[in-house]
Amino acid sequence: MSEISNYTYDEITIGQTATYSKLIEERDVQLFAAVSGDVNPVHLDAAFAATTQFKSCIAHGMLSGAIISAAIAMELPGPGTIYLGQSLRFRLPVKLGDTITVNLEVIEKTDKRGFVTLDCNVFNQNEQLVVTGTAEVMAPKEKLLLEKPTLPPVRIGD
C-alpha cells in the first residue's frame, strides 16, 4: 500500500512549490455532477454544448477547485492541513480531454498561528492559465506518514 506524507509548518519555506496533474475525462464530469447535483447540459450533453459559446462539453468550474484542494491536501502541505480559505478566478473553460496541472507556491507564513498562504495557478496542456487563486491553510504541526486509503471501486453506467 502506498503512503502519503506532509510538510510541517516548520519545514515549509517561502517559495516552496508543488504540482499536481489530472486528466479530465467524461467520467470525472459525470461524478462531479452526481456529487454536486449540478447536472447542467453544458457539462453533460454534447449536442446541447455544441450550441453554446463553448462548442463542446466543459468541466464544472469548481472541479478545478476540487483539484486545487486535492493538491493542497495530498502534496503541499499534505495530510493534517486545515483548509481555511480559498479564492478562485475561472479564466478559461476546461474541456473534456484536457490535462490540468495545479502549481502551488508558498507566498506567506504567519508564525504566530501557523498559517500558510499559497498561490494556486492551474494550467491546461497548452500552458493556458485556466484558473488562478489563493489558498490559506493552517499547516500541520506534526509529521505524518499515513497509509493511503484504498477507495472502493466507482462504476458509472449500467
Contact positions toward its own copies, by CB under 8 A?
4, 20, 22, 28, 30-42, 44-45, 48, 60-63, 65-70, 73-74, 79, 83-90, 146-149, 151-158
Residue identified by cell 449536442 is: 47
To its own copies, the closest distance from the beta carbon of 149 in angstroms equals: 4
Q: Which is nearer to its own copies, 15 or 156 (CB)?
A: 156
Q: How many CB atoms lie within 10 A of CB 158?
A: 3
To its own copies, the closest distance from the beta carbon of 109 in angstroms equals: 19
Handedness of CA 124, 38, 135, 106 (dihedral sign): negative
Q: Which is nearer to its own copies, 9 or 32 (CB)?
A: 32
Q: Which is nearer to its own copies, 15 or 142 (CB)?
A: 142
To its own copies, the closest distance from the beta carbon of 110 in angstroms equals: 16
Give yes or no for a contact between 142 and 80, defined as CB atoms under 8 angstroms apart. Answer: yes
Q: Which is nearer to its own copies, 14 or 34 (CB)?
A: 34
d(CA 142, CA 123): 31
Cα→Cα distances 130→8, 32, 93, 146, Å: 29, 18, 7, 32
